[in-house]
Amino acid sequence: MKKLLLVIVAALAMVAIVAIVNTARFVSKQPPGEPAVQIAVDAEAAAQHLAGAVRFQTVSFEEAAKVDHAAFEALHGYLEQAYPAVHATLTREVVNRSSLLYTWRGRESTLDPMVLMGHLDVVPVVPGTEAQWSHPPFAGDIADGYVWGRGAVDDKSSVIAVLEAVEKLAGEGYQPRRTIYLAFGHDEEVGGPAGAAKIADALATRGVTHFAFVTDEGGAVGQGLVPGIEKPTALIGIAEKGYLNLRLTVAGEGGHSSTPPAETNVGILSRAVARLEATPFPARLDGAARDMFDYLGPEMSYGPKLAFANLWLLRPLVERQMLANPQSAALLRTTTAPTMLSAGVKANVLAPEATAVVNFRIKPGETMETVTGFARQVIGDERVKIERFGDGKDPSPVSDTSAPAFRMMAKTIRQVLSGDIVITPMLVVGGTDAKYYSQRSPNVFRFLPAVITQEDFRRFHGTNERLAVDSLATSVKYFYQLVKNVDGM
């Protein structure tokens, strides 16, 4: 027994030594510092332009017939008036009535072009919540250092920041080495099939099918979002989840509610939805999510750093901790979210049909096909018809963090933002229009240098959306310097 105890103690000591050594070797992957660049930006004018853009109610709805194309056309006219140098220097096209494509010809036509993206549409304001807004959602108010309103962050901020930067560059007589496209879709919030997809197709018909660099929304500067890191964190999206909507339908006889069958259509559907929620997809810390913590781990306090340096030993503990938070849990697995339910027309009438829509955000490594198969297996009831609802998309490829393009983005962040910032790749758990370029460029990244706190995170697609005027000014500087740095690739 004494020898066994000594063996156990020795083994534990060896494990402890290995863990400590691994932690010591878990060194920073942060890019080197860069001298700050001084870029003069009229923050007030930029804020006024964003506020003006917010006032156009360019709302995306699931039903294409509900889209107010006149609102988009009015926004187009506003942007033309606000950015005269852009419209005098670049060629502007309206694609599929409501999207915009600008072409800025480069000096060297043999170089692959780059794409700066954003989207003009916004999500609806939930009816009945208007009174909860501190400022009316489409008033475009500027108050307390913020631009308030639907789209102030998602994603008219990107559109305005890009146009502000290009307006400044064009006004200075700058001409890029490589051609630059500004691609602003009008239906990103419903997947982008009529906007960004049509822009990409239009370029393809001209033989423009390969891009040196593509950037879109997705990542931001997190403040207080990562436990164990007090510094601001620049989160650069190197991949994004896919998405799939499945519609579940149970149909049968209706009738009077006074003589219900043992199982109603509503009951059958409800059990199917409950099974999906009760059986989540397997969780795993790998791929782009693992890359993220390879960058973040060395910058954390010692306890979390030790854990991420020794996933061979502590992976179950780390994953359990991450699964306790919906934001970090979404990095580990394909998520399941029932979002729409419909059944019945009267309280005393059995519904002859009950339907539900379940939204899945697909982690890289899985596909729409495997997710559908998983759902069928979990539900396990042939009475439930399962079919795809609307568009879907498999997860994107993962862009290489060792590529010059990623280093160039990190350099730009270092030059424009504070040097005391942690830079990391990340998996974007939502969807962006960048997915339409993921097969056309090895360098597709998703980042806007807006500062996002836990409080701001809850405002996305919610009430009191806002963007700090300072963050908008920083975004303008970022895109200004990014254009110049891409010329050096």
Bridge-based pairing state of the strands 233-240 and 422-428: parallel
The four Cα atoms 147, 151, 155, 159 give a dihedral, to 10 degrees, of: -70
C-alpha 218/C-alpha 240 separation (Å) is 9
Cα 35 to chain centroid, rounded: 29
How far apart, in Å, are the Cα atoms of 114 and each of 64, 87, 220, 397?
A: 30, 19, 20, 18
Distance from chain centroid for Cα 401:
18
Phi, psi of 8 (to 5 degrees): -65, -45
The letter for the amino acid at 463 is T
Q: Are 224 and 124 in contact (CB under 8 A)?
A: no
Residue 352's closest CA among 360, 361, 363, 343?
Answer: 343
Give the active site residue among 121, 189, 456, 487. 121
Peptide bond into 155 cis (omega under 30): yes
Q: Is 139 exposed, middle or buried (0-12, 13-18, 19+ CB in 10 A)?
A: middle
Active-site residue, 400 included: no
Q: Are 475 and 448 in contact (CB under 8 A)?
A: yes
188 is an active site residue: yes
C-alpha neighbours within 13 Å on the C-beta side of residue 423 = 25
Closest CA to 115 of 416, 403, 394, 483: 483
Buried b (16+ CB within 10 A) or exposed e, 3-26: eeeeeeeeeeeeeeeebeebbeeb
119 beta partners: 185
Tokens representing 112 are: 């692959």
**How far apart (Å, rounded) are the C-alpha atoms in residues 3 and 387?**
62
Catalytic residue among 141, 154, 167, 188: 188
Token pair listed for 84? 């005269």
Other CB atoms within a 10 A radius of the CB of residue 207 amount to 7
CB 238 within 8 A of CB 447: no
Strand duo 213-216 + 444-446: pairing:
parallel
Distances (CA, A) of 236 to 216, 224, 247, 398, 486: 10, 16, 33, 12, 16
The encoded tokens of residue 95 equal 């694609």
- Give catalytic residues, as residue numbers: 121, 188
